[in-house]
Amino acid sequence: MRVGLFVTCLVDLMRPRIGFAAIELLEAAGCEVIVPATQTCCGQPAWNSGDRASAAKLAKKVIAEFEGFDYVVAPSGSCADHIRNEYPSILADEPEWLACAAALSPKVFELTDFLVNVAKLENLPGHFSGSVTYHDSCAGLHSLGIKAQPRALLAKLPDVRLKEMNAAEECCGFGGTFSVKFGDISAAIAERKCTNAVATEADAIVGGDLGCLLNIEGKLRRMGDEETRVLHIAEVLTAK
């Protein structure tokens, strides 16, 4: 399978090792992985802010870069959801591009969903040891049904203990531009998420979207917790 990896702009700029971990996992599943060098943003911030013109321009760019692959995989439920489910709406007034968006849509997967349900990865390259608690990101959970997949992968690591937090499915307060427009509300939601996570006494908080993880880690450190690690699931599954 030829897989195009959509790295995401946050991963590229803030924690590139997640992208390399995703490549390692995909290759362990037997995929040929290509990372188009010209990729940038999926356009979600523009779309959520009402800038349809910029969102459409970026959607066309992503389609042109990724339409030739068997699958497109992103280590982010949020970006995968946007490409898969929003591009047809964004390009609804342009029939040729709408057809391209519709053709790309079923090939787009969030990383853990792809590894479990398409590639059916059995042997993980990582050897993480410790306890983790898992945060379910809103877009992946509600739009793509990402819930059991990351937990199924964590269960394949013999030295990992999953300690579920209360309200694991509740928002962390990030929500992209929401955290900018409604800072006080976002901070309160993040504090509740961090409190629930820390109560598990897990060694690490794990999730599938870097935006959520940066928000959680930032709030955790401001609350005085310098010990609890905050990791993307790809980092856990490839940890040596």
pLDDT per residue as tens digits for the range 57-107: 999 999 999 999 999 999 999 999 999 999 999 999 999 999 999 999 999
% of the chain surpassing 90 pLDDT:
95
Give the separation between CA 40 and CA 31, rounded to whole angstroms: 22
* Domain match, 26 and 94 both: yes
- In sequence order, the β-bridge partners of residue 28 are none
Q: Which residue has the tokens 């050897």?
A: 127
% of the chain surpassing 70 pLDDT:
100
pLDDT band with cut points at 50, 70 and 90 for residue 179: confident
**Assigned domain for 64 exists:** yes
Nearest to 153 by CA among 135, 126, 129: 126
Domain count across the chain:
2
The pLDDT assigned to 25 comes to 98
Q: Residue 10 is encoded by which pair of tokens? A: 């946050």
* Domain match, 83 and 156 both: no
Q: Please write the tens of the pLDDT for every residue from 156-171.
A: 999 999 999 999 999 9
pLDDT band with cut points at 50, 70 and 90 for residue 13: very high
Task: Determine which of 36-40, 121-125, 173-177 has the lowest per-residue pLDDT on average.
Answer: 173-177
**Assigned domain for 122 exists:** no
The pLDDT assigned to 167 comes to 97
Q: In what order do the strands lie in the sheet with 160-162?
A: 160-162, 130-134, 204-207, 229-232
pLDDT band with cut points at 50, 70 and 90 for residue 176: confident
Nearest to 132 by CA among 37, 234, 239, 229: 229
**For position 139, which CATH number holds?**
3.40.50.2300
Q: What is the DSSP letter of 82?
A: I
Name the E strands within 77-210.
Answer: 108-110, 130-134, 160-162, 204-207
What stretch of H or E contains 11?
Answer: helix 9-14
Give the separation between CA 224 and CA 89, rounded to whole angstroms: 43
Q: Which residue has the tokens 């410790």?
A: 130
Q: DSSP letters along 146-213, please? A: -SHHHHHHHTTSTTEEE-PPTTTTS--S-TTTHHHHTHHHHHHHHHHHHHHHHHTT-SEEEES-HHHH
**For position 110, which CATH number holds?**
3.40.50
* Domain match, 111 and 167 both: no
Backbone angles phi, psi at 161, to 5 degrees: -115, 120
Write down the mean pLDDT value for the chain.
Answer: 96
* Domain match, 172 and 75 both: no
Q: Which residue has the tokens 């982010």?
A: 76
Query: What is the C-alpha end-to-end distance of the chain, expressed in Å?
Result: 26
Q: Please write the tens of the pLDDT for every residue from 31-52.
A: 999 999 999 999 999 999 999 9
CB within 8 Å of 85: residues ≥ 6 apart = 105, 143
The pLDDT assigned to 181 comes to 81
Burial class (CB in 10 A: 0-12, 13-18, 19+), 51: middle
* Domain match, 137 and 112 both: no
Residue 183 has pLDDT above 90, yes or no: no
230-239 mean pLDDT? 98
* Domain match, 138 and 223 both: yes
Q: Which residue has the tokens 């040929």?
A: 32
Residue 160: give the domain boundaries: 130-237
The pLDDT assigned to 192 comes to 97
